[in-house]
């Protein structure tokens, strides 16, 4: 029996191989997909030198105004949140591989003294059930690891989409603050002029009160804009994982990028949409892992062990073997089998739902994208130019002494909403642009990220 057991142990060693998941393998799919979509790959720092490189990169990127590409690079290569995401994924994949490792052999030694005689028993064995199911367990583990690798890629792309959107919000909020400050400064000048004209008797109390009321409203709007800008900026700081000193150094561009010359067409979006999207691939791999693991649930209660036994005592030696067979009296494994069946049903249903959601979400995001583009272009090409034309005409009348300075200022105040609307429409377009990019590859959470600093609350409700 010893040769047979030796053969079993040798077979276990061959099948086990090197059961490990290097960090590069654990993050490889995420790295490839991120390079394909964003042109930048996430990097997991596993050494002190790599952590020093992260800090140097952060200092380098924060030395200049942080544009969108730099924000994405900082998030992928140097943010603590991304490091935690990558490390957690590595740990989960390693745990999946470990769960399917070959069983370790066991050794037992027994020494019994009876009436001056010493009996020695040596036992060397291995879990036979675990050994026989090793190929199936390794296959299920491999599918689980693949699913988690693609899930990591999906999570990374979702995170970068949220970072892009938060960068857009922070820049737009800062741009609105600059404009509200200009409005407030103009209101202060108008109110001061009204005070002086009333002092010399050329202005009524009612006219001055109107100018003061506009100043009070402009001051309140500026305060709200400053608070909103702080909230959006701090949300970006948290996403990038900046400390207090780095947050102080963070500078953003003065304005959002211009609209593209032409919007994307529906055909272009359909061509770019990946047939095997990340969400569908993840759901398919989860289903495959559940189906592959279902038969293993039936074998779980039958934990059979095979061991070689050698006994020595009283001047005699004996050899043999023993088999440990469980008696499934109390635990028949029925609940475990039912749980495995339920897991397969749930995985199949999730795959069907993901497939049904895929095209619907893409259509929804594309309509939102085109609507946002058309509105932003409408403000840029129609609303703001018309407001500027009205202002120019009023200025001509003022120069011709047909209207007074306060009529000119009143008209300028009427154009405030047009400019604010244009900035907000441009912001909404870039948010929709990023959400559409995420929908094309099947990354989650970009739609939920449209809620501003409350993105986490919205994302908690789920987004397919």
pLDDT in tens, 105-143: 888 888 887 777 778 888 888 888 788 778 888 888 888
Q: Who contacts 339 (Cβ-Cβ below 8 Å, separation ≥6)?
A: 297
Tokens 């890629």 locate to 153
Residue reference for tokens 């397919």 = 464
pLDDT band at 449 (very low <50, low <70, confident <90, very high): very low
> Which distant-in-sequence residues (6+ apart) come within 8 Å of 416 by Cβ?
183
Residues 6+ apart with CB under 8 A from 362: 269, 273, 439, 440
Residue 403 has pLDDT above 90, yes or no: no
DSSP reduced 3-state for 318: strand
The number of CA neighbours under 13 Å toward the Cβ of 199 is: 6
What's residue 388's pLDDT? 75
Whether the per-residue pLDDT at 6 is higher than 60: the answer is no
pLDDT band, very low/low/confident/very high, at 459 (cuts 50, 70, 90): very low
Q: Is the pLDDT of residue 186 over 60?
A: yes
pLDDT tier for residue 423 given thresholds of 50, 70 and 90: very high
Alpha-carbon gap, residue 322 to 307, rounded angstroms: 5
SS3 category, 313: strand
Checking phi first, is residue 317 left (phi over 0); if not, alpha (psi -120 to 50) or beta?
Answer: beta
Residue 463 is assigned to a structural domain of this protein: no
Is the model more confident about 279 or about 13?
Answer: 279
> How much is the pLDDT for 102?
80
Averaged pLDDT of the chain: 81
Give me the mean pLDDT over the 274-290 stretch. 82
The per-residue pLDDT for 10 is: 57
In a domain, 454, yes or no: no
Integer Cα distance of 384 and 91 in angstroms: 54
HSE-CB of 229 using CA atoms within 13 angstroms? 20
pLDDT at 36: 87
Residue 461 in domain: no
pLDDT at 457: 40
Span 154-160, average pLDDT = 92
Position with higher pLDDT, 186 vs 432: 432
Q: What does the pLDDT read at residue 232?
A: 96
- Supply 285's token pair: 């791999």
- pLDDT computed for residue 254 by the predictor: 93
pLDDT higher at 139 or 14: 139
Domain that holds residue 168: 2-448
For 254-258, 323-327, 396-400, which range has the lowest pLDDT when averaged over its residues? 396-400
Answer yes or no: is pLDDT of 257 > 90. yes
Domain harbouring 117, CATH code: 1.20.1600.10
Give the pLDDT mean for 161-181. 94
CA distances from 139 to 55, 100, 288, 302 (A): 40, 9, 10, 20
Question: What pLDDT is attached to residue 374?
Answer: 94
Predicted pLDDT of residue 130 = 80
Report pLDDT for 391: 66
- Mapped onto helix, strand or coil, the DSSP state of residue 40 is coil
How many residues appear in the chain?
A: 464
Asked whether the CA dihedral 125, 127, 128, 133 is positive or negative, the reply is negative
pLDDT range class, residue 13, cuts 50, 70, 90: low
- pLDDT the model gives residue 304: 77
pLDDT at 9: 53
- The pLDDT tens digits of the residues spanning 44-91 come to 888 889 888 888 998 999 999 999 999 999 999 989 999 999 999 999
C-alpha span between 20 and 36 (Å, rounded): 27
How sure is the predictor about 451, in pLDDT bands with cuts at 50, 70 and 90?
very low
Of the candidates 174, 206, 219, 240, the one whose C-alpha atom is nearest the C-alpha of residue 423 is 174
Structure-token match 């008696």, residue found:
327
Beta strands in 65-187 (DSSP E): 106-114, 117-127
pLDDT band, residue 338 (cuts 50/70/90): confident
The contacts of residue 319 (CB under 8 Å, 6+ apart) are 1, 2, 308, 309, 310, 311
pLDDT of 409 higher than 60: yes
Whether the CB-CB separation of 120 and 281 falls below 8 Å is answered with no
Question: What is the C-alpha to C-alpha distance for residues 383 and 15, in angstroms, rounded to an integer?
Answer: 71
Distance CA 171, CA 179 (A): 13
Q: What is the number of structural domains in the chain?
A: 1
Q: Is residue 315 part of a domain?
A: yes
Kindly give, in sequence order, each residue whose CB lies less than 8 Å from that of residue 224, ignoring residues fewer than 6 positions away.
none
Assigned token pair, 410: 């009143």
Phi/psi at 377 (nearest 5 deg)? -70, -35
Cβ-contact 79, 239 below 8 angstroms: yes
**Per-residue pLDDT for 400 more than 50?**
yes
Q: What pLDDT does residue 240 have? A: 94
Task: State pLDDT tens for residues 432-444.
Answer: 999 998 888 888 7
Residue matched to tokens 């005409």: 393
Query: Which residue did the predictor score with more confidence, 59 or 321?
Result: 59
pLDDT at 298 over 80: no
Comparison of pLDDT for 30 and 456, the residue scoring more = 30
The answer to whether 266 touches 100, Cβ cutoff 8 Å, is no
């Amino acid at each position: 029996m010893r040769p047979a057991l030796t053969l079993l142990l040798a077979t276990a060693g061959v099948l086990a191989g090197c059961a490990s998941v290097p960090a590069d393998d654990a993050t490889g799919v995420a790295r490839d997909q991120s390079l394909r979509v964003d042109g930048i790959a996430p990097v997991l720092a596993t050494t002190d030198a790599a952590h020093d490189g992260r800090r140097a990169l952060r200092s380098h990127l924060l030395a200049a105004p942080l544009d969108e590409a730099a924000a994405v690079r900082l998030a992928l290569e140097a943010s603590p949140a991304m490091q935690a995401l990558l490390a957690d994924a590595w740990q989960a994949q390693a745990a999946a591989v470990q769960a399917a490792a070959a069983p370790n052999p066991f050794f037992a030694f027994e020494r019994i003294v009876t009436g001056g005689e010493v009996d020695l028993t040596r036992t060397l064995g291995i879990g036979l059930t675990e050994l026989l199911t090793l190929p199936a367990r390794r296959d299920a583990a491999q599918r689980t690891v693949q699913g988690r690798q693609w899930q990591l890629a999906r999570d990374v792309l979702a995170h970068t989409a949220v970072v892009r959107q938060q960068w857009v919000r922070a820049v737009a909020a800062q741009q609105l603050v600059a404009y509200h400050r200009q409005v407030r400064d103009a209101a202060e000048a108008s109110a001061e002029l009204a005070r002086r004209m009333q002092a010399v008797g050329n202005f009524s109390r009612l006219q001055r009160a109107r100018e003061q009321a506009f100043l009070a409203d402009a001051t309140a709007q500026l305060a709200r804009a400053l608070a909103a800008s702080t909230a959006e900026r701090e949300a970006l700081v948290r996403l990038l994982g900046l400390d207090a000193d780095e947050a102080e150094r963070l500078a953003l561009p003065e304005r959002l990028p211009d609209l593209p010359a032409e919007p994307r067409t529906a055909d272009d979006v359909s061509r770019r949409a990946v047939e095997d999207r990340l969400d569908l691939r993840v759901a398919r791999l989860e289903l495959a892992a559940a189906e592959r693991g279902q038969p293993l649930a039936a074998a779980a209660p039958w934990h059979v062990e095979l061991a070689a036994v050698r006994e020595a005592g009283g001047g005699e030696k004996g050899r043999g073997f023993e088999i440990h067979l469980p008696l499934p009296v109390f635990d028949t494994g029925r609940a475990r089998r039912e749980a495995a069946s339920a897991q397969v049903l749930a995985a199949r249903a999730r795959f069907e739902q993901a497939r049904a959601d895929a095209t619907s979400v893409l259509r929804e995001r594309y309509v939102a994208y085109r609507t946002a583009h058309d509105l932003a272009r409408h403000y840029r090409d129609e609303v703001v130019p018309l407001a500027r034309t009205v202002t120019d005409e009023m200025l001509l009348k003022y120069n011709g002494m047909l209207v007074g300075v306060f009529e000119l200022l009143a008209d300028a105040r009427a154009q405030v909403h047009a400019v604010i609307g244009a900035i907000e429409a441009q912001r909404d377009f870039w948010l929709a642009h990023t959400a559409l990019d995420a929908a094309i590859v099947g990354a989650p959470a970009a739609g939920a990220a449209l809620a501003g600093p409350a993105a986490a609350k919205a994302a908690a409700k789920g987004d397919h």
